[in-house]
Amino acid sequence: MLLQKQDFKKRIGCIGAGYVGGPTMAVIAAQCPDYSVTVVDINEKRIAAWNTDNLPIYEPGLLDVVKKARGRNLFFSTDVNAAIRESDVLFVSVNTPTKTFGEGAGKAADLQYWEETARNIIKASNSDKIIVEKSTLPVRTADAMDRILNANDKGIHFEVLSNPEFLAEGTAIEDLLHPERVLVGSRETETGLKARREIVDIYTNWVDRSKIITSNVWSAELSKLVANAFLAQRISSINSISALCEKTEADVGEVSYAIGTDKRIGSKFLNPSVGFGGSCFKKDILNLVYICEHYGLHEVASYWESVVRMNDYQIRRFVLTMVQSMFSTVSRKRIVLLGFAFKADTGDTRESPAIYVAKKLMDEQARLVISDPQALDNARHDLREHAAKIEFEKDPYKASRGAHALAVMTEWKEYKDLDFEKIFAAMEKPAFVFDGRNILDHRRLFEIGFNVYPIGKPPMSHF
């Protein structure tokens, strides 16, 4: 049930209460007490959880922000139509996964949820509204949305803007409270510029104006895809070098440090790993690739596609190293995946490299144990076809009892501080560690007795 909203300066609605919609709107509500913010979703379970202290997603600091505003000017509801009707500004942050069927399958964005939302907006609206694309969308989606929305026969004007979200899971609240930039793109018409000012006004409640970038709507849409493509490209670049380091006795950590001190290169996002995951990088690059192909830019498409190819190679290479170094068989060996989330400080496992690694090890008939402080429910879901054969154990000590190998899949801080002597004592020998995140003290593990396989560094083996 929606509360009385007429006393608020502005009424904001958000369609989609996921990893983006929930935290983003919670921060807007907390920072703008004179705006009402209503977040709606068709997923009843998700909305019910947003109304408890057991939130549907794990994100450090999120509960405090939600508690500050919930019931005051932040509301979670399944009444999508009421939220549309009552809002002046509607953020749309529904999912935009990769298309799995028809033209563009495997690359293009599946915009069915977006279009359904647009049609809902037309049906439920009875006044002019600003529609803000929060989801990541192909460049020029606003054009299609504009045409669909403004073809309504009610005489209502919808102004479509792009305000892509740059938060990173695990640090979402910090990123939202102290963003490096906020990007607001609009048409450069009178109504477009007026709507742009309204969205900028929301953010100036807590973000310095100098950090709010305004642009045309196409630049804003494209900037989000390009930001993710550049970030992922850095990971693939350093991962490609990690493969070369393993062949040449160079140490990728040393290389990464040496090149990162060059200001033109910078040190961020140069950590080698088992590969990137998450719901966005792969999908957004493939989307970029599809758009480039659509415009006949085949060289550009193939350049960006290689970032994804390199990532797939890195994950495959990791499993191959595991199998080969364990005497070319892992059949019936107990192997513990330390971490399943695609990164630390989140329970999100979408596109996590651990999914591929787990499935591949199951194909090799390993006895798998999955450990993670936050992601075990999602892991059970991701591996549901194999779930009966897999052990899920939150406690890394219990998980590693009788194990032949540990593989670090997620850079959870607590894994660095584990008592590896105790773990080693309880494992089968020879005991192996495959550090897919290069977070452990490899020399120390080797001294304890482990055979250690980092990424992009010579292995330390007792054989």
Q: Closer CB to ligand NAD, residue 90 or residue 274?
A: 90
CB of 41 to ligand NAD, least distance (A): 4
Residue 170 binds to ligand NAD (criterion: CB under 6 A):
no
Beta bridge partners of 185: 162, 215
Residue 18 binds to ligand NAD (criterion: CB under 6 A):
yes
Close Cβ partners of 309 (under 8 Å, ≥ 6 residues apart):
none
- Using CB under 6 A, count the residues that bind ligand NAD: 27
Distances (CA, A) of 248 to 14, 182, 242, 313, 457: 52, 43, 10, 19, 9
Candidates 26, 80, 142, 357: give the one binding ligand NAD (CB under 6 A). 80
Q: Which residue number has the CB closest to ligand NAD?
A: 18
Residues 37-56 that bind ligand NAD (CB under 6 A): 40-43, 46
State the SS3 of the chain: CCCCCCCCCEEEEEECCCCCHHHHHHHHHHHCCCEEEEEECCCHHHHHHHCCCCCCCCCCCHHHHHHHHECCCEEEECCHHHHHHHCCEEEECCCCCECCCCCCCCCCECCHHHHHHHHHHHHHCCCCEEEEECCCCCCCHHHHHHHHHCCCCCCCCEEEEECCCCCCCCCHHHHHHCCCCEEEEECCCHHHHHHHHHHHHHHCCCCCHHHEEEEEHHHHHHHHHHHHHHHHHHHHHHHHHHHHHHHHCCCHHHHHHHHHCCCCCCCCCCCCCCCCCCCCHHHHHHHHHHHHHHCCCHHHHHHHHHHHHHHHHHHHHHHHHHHHHCCCCCCCCEEEEECCCCCCCCCCCCCCHHHHHHHHHHHCCCEEEEECCCCHHHHHHHCCCCHHHCEECCCHHHHHCCCCEEEECCCCHHHHCCCHHHHHHCCCCCCEEEECCCCCCHHHHHHHCCEEECCCCCCECCC
CB of 283 to ligand NAD, least distance (A): 7
Question: For residues 348 and 361, what is the distance between their CA atoms, to the nearest angstrom?
Answer: 21
Q: Closer CB to ligand NAD, residue 42 or residue 144?
A: 42
CB of 20 to ligand NAD, least distance (A): 4
280 is a catalytic site residue = yes
Q: Closer CB to ligand NAD, residue 133 or residue 435?
A: 133
Residue 291 binds to ligand NAD (criterion: CB under 6 A):
no
Residues 121-160 that bind ligand NAD (CB under 6 A): 135-136
Residue 117 binds to ligand NAD (criterion: CB under 6 A):
yes
Residues 364-423 that bind ligand NAD (CB under 6 A): none
**Of these residues, 14, 32, 245, 280, which one is catalytic?**
280
Residue 20 binds to ligand NAD (criterion: CB under 6 A):
yes
CB of 12 to ligand NAD, least distance (A): 15
CB of 336 to ligand NAD, least distance (A): 27
Candidates 8, 113, 269, 392: give the one binding ligand NAD (CB under 6 A). 113
Candidates 280, 336, 407, 440: give the one binding ligand NAD (CB under 6 A). 280
Candidates 5, 12, 13, 15: give the one binding ligand NAD (CB under 6 A). 15
Residue 96 binds to ligand NAD (criterion: CB under 6 A):
yes
- Near ligand NAD by CB under 6 A, which window of 13-21, 185-193, 246-254, 378-386? 13-21
Pairing status of strand 89-92 against strand 129-133: parallel
- Near ligand NAD by CB under 6 A, which window of 88-96, 121-129, 404-412, 445-453? 88-96
CB of 80 to ligand NAD, least distance (A): 5
CB of 227 to ligand NAD, least distance (A): 9
Candidates 31, 73, 77, 93: give the one binding ligand NAD (CB under 6 A). 93
Residues 187-206 that bind ligand NAD (CB under 6 A): none
Residue 17 binds to ligand NAD (criterion: CB under 6 A):
yes
The residues assigned a catalytic role are 280
The footprint of ligand NAD (CB under 6 A) covers 15-21, 40-43, 46, 80, 93-96, 113, 116-117, 135-136, 165, 167, 169, 279-280
